[in-house]
Amino acid sequence: MKIIFFGTPQFAVPTLEKLLNQPELEVLGVVTQPDKRRERGNKLTPSPVKSVAIAHNLPVWQPQRVKKHTKTLTQLQKLDADVFVVVAYGQILSPQILNMPKLGCINVHGSILPKYRGAAPIQWCLYNGEKETGITTMLMDAGMDTGAMLLKATTPIGLLDNAEDLAQRLSIIGGDLLLETLFKLERQEIEPIPQDNSEATYAPLIQKQDYQVDWSKSAIQLHNQIRAFHPNCIASFRSQPLKITATIPLGCAYDGELPIELEKIQKKLPDLSNISGSPGEVVSIAKGIGAIVQTGEGLLLLQKVQPAGKRPQSGWDFVNGTRLTVGEVFSLGI
């Protein structure tokens, strides 16, 4: 089976690697986003998918807009691929591209469709406090993640899973499911299932305002936001921006959902029923862990933070480094 792979971020890498390790499959080349300037030094950096392609001496195409790049389209057509595999590529494919391969274009999508169609399914399922998510393989059509579904695989979401953790797990599941999908399609063992549009939900691109920590929200809402948009959620402390990267919602409602070591810590904390304050106020300090902050409803333990211009640090190092005291207040992100 001859394959052209479309993908860009680390999430797509395990699927590409699994394809390359299958002797029955031939990856003819990779289409990925153009190199971008990243991090310090502002150097042009290839996408994770391009790095894998180069390591395997594969042809790479990086058009700014693939559906309008005549040279790339001509080359893709000439390769006469059986299937295009698309994993978090980052561009909309035109009907011309969708109709090129014999078996069609197969997308590996990070949700249980038709829920969370769109660009950021992993983040928004965490934000909404879902207990389960998964991968769906589907035949692509002209809509946004609206194509007929092929196979699904699910995985539970733990209370402390963040977007990075979940994406890594789903990327492995996605690679395995894609292989199963390809082989079953070749043997005509899959009947594509149309999506029920009435059950569809959407996962739009994340906006800057989505990172703002509003302490009037409940502890569980803030916890879900911080792990969903990890590591970018931002609050303000002493008039300076502060990224909050890991939290623990406190209270008996979460007994059984925390790792054993954190369950033990929670039991050692002061009697939570007697603690209260204004939203954003530090109402207690958990020795060895971090500050406990009052929210609009419930208490939130700050486990990991990153002050402006500094490296990420534990909540306890932040307490010691700033000499944080009970009564101080975190405010809306700057």
CA dist 130 and 193 (Å) reads: 24
The band of 258, judged by pLDDT with boundaries at 50, 70 and 90, is: confident
Domain that holds residue 110: 2-199
Which one of 145, 178, 199 terminates a domain?
199
Residues 191 and 159 reside in one and the same domain: yes
CA dist 197 and 327 (Å) reads: 50
* 196 class by beta-carbon count within 10 Å (0-12 exposed, 13-18 middle, 19+ buried): exposed
Q: The CATH number of the domain where 214 resides is what?
A: 3.10.25.10
Residues 227 and 98 reside in one and the same domain: no
Residues 162 and 217 reside in one and the same domain: no
Residues 54 and 194 reside in one and the same domain: yes
Report the interhelical angle of 13-20 vs 163-186 (nearest 10°): 40
State residue 251's pLDDT score: 82
* 189 class by beta-carbon count within 10 Å (0-12 exposed, 13-18 middle, 19+ buried): exposed
DSSP state of 149: E
Which one of 152, 169, 199 terminates a domain?
199
Question: Whole-prediction pTM value?
Answer: 0.93
User: Mind listing the pLDDT tens digit for each residue in 13-54?
Assistant: 999 999 999 999 999 999 999 998 776 667 889 999 999 999
User: Mind listing the pLDDT tens digit for each residue in 111-125?
Assistant: 999 999 999 999 999
Residues 256 and 195 reside in one and the same domain: no
H-run or E-run covering 4: strand 2-7
Which one of 178, 199, 220 terminates a domain?
199
Task: Give the phi and the psi of residue 283 in degrees, each rounded to 5.
Answer: -105, -15
State residue 79's pLDDT score: 96
- In sequence order, which residues have a C-beta less than 8 Å from that of residue 224 and are 6 or more positions away? 126, 127, 128, 129
Residues 158 and 228 reside in one and the same domain: no
91, two tokens? 């561009």
The answer to whether 8 and 89 have CB atoms below 8 angstroms apart is yes
Residues 181 and 238 reside in one and the same domain: no
Residues 20 and 153 reside in one and the same domain: yes
- pLDDT for 301 beyond 90: yes
CA dist 142 and 76 (Å) reads: 19
3-state secondary structure of 95: helix
Q: The CATH number of the domain where 101 resides is what?
A: 3.40.50.170
Q: Is 113 annotated as a binding residue?
A: yes
Residues 260 and 319 reside in one and the same domain: yes
CA dist 285 and 263 (Å) reads: 17
262, two tokens? 């954190």
State residue 202's pLDDT score: 96
* Total structural domains within the chain: 2
Q: Is 114 annotated as a binding residue?
A: yes
Residues 110 and 64 reside in one and the same domain: yes
Residues 100 and 227 reside in one and the same domain: no
Residues 8 and 130 reside in one and the same domain: yes
Place of tokens 């289409």: 31
Q: Is 302 annotated as a binding residue?
A: no
